Amino acid sequence: MAFRNLISSDRGAVRSITINRPDKLNALNRETINELQIAFDQARHDDSVRAVVLAGAGEKAFVAGADIAELSAITPIQAQTFSRAGQRMMRTIELLGKPVIARIQGFALGGGLEIAMSCHLRVGSERARLGLPEISLGLLPGFGGTQRLLRLAGRPAALELCLLGQPVDAVRAHQLGLLNRVAAVDALDDEVNALADQLAASAPHALAGILDAILVGGECPFAEAMDFESKAFALTCTTEDMREGTRAFLERRKPAFTGK
């Protein structure tokens, strides 16, 4: 389908989804959230897609937050609906079963940091600035930001970023685990593309099993999580890709995974 606020394109097995509202610093309004839900549902069901890159248009921002003009006129009932739609979309990203990389070239604030935290890997340029400034609007994060930040960076950092609302730079974000890698501004695309290509060349069933074991199993009691991992491991042993991977290792060549 044609999107008003997104650009979707494929480079081999890598799908790029770009939030295209540069005049609004790619702020998330209801229409954009709905389009992102559709775009990621499409990526989930397209077997030719093995990895996804989520980006924001322009050089200033990945996503600068929610659309304040829309938010300022929202009713409490509409606010809850908006929050749940954003949470549902970001949970779709988190549980996509395919690795998603956030390409962060500038500001990732509020909803921008929340959607970045729902991605599996985050690569930021040296100019990236990340934060949850909702407190300055008399609000708190509503798309899962308090909970994902707590799990990624721990309670002290979550309390500091949410209570004070001040963004951190790329170096501090990397120290907190909010960024997996920091790249020079002119090397950001090379870094993101190299990661995406590596993931797209990996065995899809193994990738999905790893994501499930960490994201779903990680929320379970330890004994249950260990059983979850064991079953996921056994399931990968039913795939042709597992046979190809072990055979390629023994034959000292690169494997060619087909997703079967």
Residues 77 and 122 in one domain: yes
Name the pLDDT band for 69 (thresholds 50, 70, 90).
confident
Residues 106 and 38 in one domain: yes
The predicted model scores a pTM of 0.95
257 is a domain residue: no
**Three-class secondary structure assignment of the chain:** CCCCCEEEEEECCEEEEEECCHHHCCCECHHHHHHHHHHHHHHHHCCCCCEEEEEECCCCEEECCECHHHHCCCCHHHHHHHHHHHHHHHHHHHCCCCCEEEEECCEEECHHHHHHHHCCEEEEECCCEEECCHHHHCCCCCCCHHHHHHHHHCHHHHHHHHHHCCCEEHHHHHHHCCCCEEECHHHHHHHHHHHHHHHHCCCHHHHHHHHHHHHCHHHCCHHHHHHHHHHHHHHHCCCHHHHHHHHHHHCCCCCCCCCC
Residues 67 and 106 in one domain: yes
Would the pLDDT of 1 be above 80? no
Residues for the chain: how many in total?
A: 260
Residues 94 and 179 in one domain: yes
Q: Domain holding 180: CATH number?
A: 3.90.226.10
92 is a domain residue: yes
CA distances from 98 to 206, 215, 224 (A): 10, 12, 23
Average pLDDT, the chain: 96
Q: How many CB atoms lie within 10 A of CB 237?
A: 9
For residue range 16-39, what is the model confidence (pLDDT) as tens digits?
Answer: 999 999 999 999 999 999 999 999
Residues 43 and 129 in one domain: yes
Give the C-alpha separation, 63 to 117, whole Å: 12
Residues 92 and 161 in one domain: yes
Residue pair 62/107 in contact (Cβ under 8 Å)? The answer is yes
Residues 10 and 128 in one domain: yes
Q: Which of 7, 105, 121 shows the shortest CA–CA distance to 60?
A: 105
Residues 93 and 213 in one domain: no
Residues 168 and 209 in one domain: no
152 is a domain residue: yes
Give the C-alpha separation, 12 to 184, whole Å: 25
For residue range 112-144, what is the model confidence (pLDDT) as tens digits?
Answer: 999 999 999 999 999 999 999 999 999 999 999
Residue 114 designated active-site: yes
| The one catalytic residue among 31, 70, 114, 191 | 114
Would the pLDDT of 72 be above 90? no
User: What range defines the domain where residue 13 resides?
Assistant: 6-200
258 is a domain residue: no
Residue 134 designated active-site: yes
Residues 52 and 158 in one domain: yes
pLDDT of residue 2: 86
255 is a domain residue: no
Would the pLDDT of 71 be above 90? no
Q: Which two tokens stand for residue 232?
A: 């996921």
52 is a domain residue: yes
| The one catalytic residue among 31, 94, 134, 219 | 134
Residue pair 214/97 in contact (Cβ under 8 Å)? The answer is no
Residues 143 and 181 in one domain: yes
Total domains in the chain come to 2
238 is a domain residue: yes
The residue among 159, 174, 200 that closes a domain is 200
Residues 36 and 13 in one domain: yes
39 is a domain residue: yes
